[in-house]
Structure 1
Amino acid sequence: MTFTVAGGSPLEPDVVALLEEHLSDMRRTSPPESVHALDPAALAAPSVRFVTARDADGVLLGCGAVKDLGDGTGEVKSMRTAPAARGSGVATAVLAHLVLAARDAGWRRLSLETGTQPFFEPAVRLYLRHGFRPCAPFAGYTDDPSSRYLALEL
């Protein structure tokens, strides 16, 4: 599968639909107080760098973002691959793009929060394969049995 990862808007209709699917899954698999996914409007904030993966015809295959935490670190947000594109390398390419953006920004660390339920295991495997390691809660997160925290030292 051929695709391109580049800056995009979280407010484009196809992206909004993919993000709504993401939020729906988060709400279905996690307790309400443990859902930390951002909605499209929050992903459009100036402190967020949002990217999309699209095929040669412009079909949305996935998305992701990094949020500047303001202390020389960032957070991965809203990584999502369209169901038809899963297993095709989209998530790996989006993550690599986000890590490069974090390095280019001069951040020293990139962290993330994800769930502990079985639904999140493929994402956790992806992050671990790319050098993320377990870490303590960060940026206002707290110990939560439904949350797992990972970080990559840049």
Structure 2
Amino acid sequence: MTAGLLVGRDNARNADIRALLLRHFELMRDASPEESCHVMEPDALLEAGAVLISARQGNAVLGIGALTEIAPGHGELKSMHTAAEARGRGVARAILQVLIAKAQDRALQRVSLETGSDALFAPARALYTAHGFSECQPFGNYREDPLSVFMTRTLGSRSDLTG
């Protein structure tokens, strides 16, 4: 893991967080056709009451991720993104572990996510699988889409952070 990495709650109104959220938004919009792209704009994350987690090293934001509650007891991971220059250093893993802990703190029984099905998203799918997520049917307002992979994980106790 990256030395000196600080992972914790953050705010989408902070300029550096907003900049990384916008990088994520643009990358997702470029990678998928509009009908298959489910990325949320930063303001929409705020409106959804998302818990936003960032990973920082010094003054640099290396990664972000968010958790929204989509139904009683059911959370969804949104806007997971590691800055390109920080990939492969454990940033996403650290953010994911904090998000799972936040979901457990909120007494959520399940956390789900939607990610892409192509090679660009293979590292994300591997990360989620390594942390106990498995493929599932579309949930919430999602529909079957060949460009999407839906994953879910049942949550255990707070001490069960790695799957």
Instruction: Give the whole-Å Cα distance in 1 for the aligned partners of 2:148 and 2:52.
Output: 23
Q: Cα offset for 1:43?
A: 1.5
* Alpha-carbon separation, structure 2, partners of 1:144 and 1:104: 32
The Cα shift of 1:47 comes to 2.7
* Rounded Cα–Cα distance in structure 2 between residues aligned with 1:130 and 1:44: 26
What residue ranges of structure 2 are gaps of 5+ in the alignment? 156-163
Q: How many residues align?
A: 153
Partner of 1:6: 8
Q: What is the TM-score when the length of structure 1 is the normalising length?
A: 0.95
Structure 2 equivalent of residue 125 of structure 1: 126
Q: CA deviation at 1:83?
A: 1.4
- On the 8 A contact 1:75/1:110 being kept in 2, the answer is yes
Partner secondary structure for residue 71 of structure 2: coil
Task: Confirm or deny: 8 A CA contact 1:68 1:74 kept in the other structure.
Answer: yes
Deviations 1:76-106 (A, max 9, x none): 0000111121111110000000000001111
Q: 1:18 aligns with which of 17, 20, 23?
A: 20
**Aligned position for 1:63:** 64
Cα deviation 1:11-51 (Å, max 9, x = unaligned): 21111211111111111111111111111111223631111
* 2:75 aligned residue: 74
1:84 partner letter: E
Q: Percent identity?
A: 41
User: 1:91-132, CA deviations, whole angstroms, 9 ceiling, x for partnerless residues?
Assistant: 000000000000111111000000111111110011001110
Match of 2:95 in 1: 94
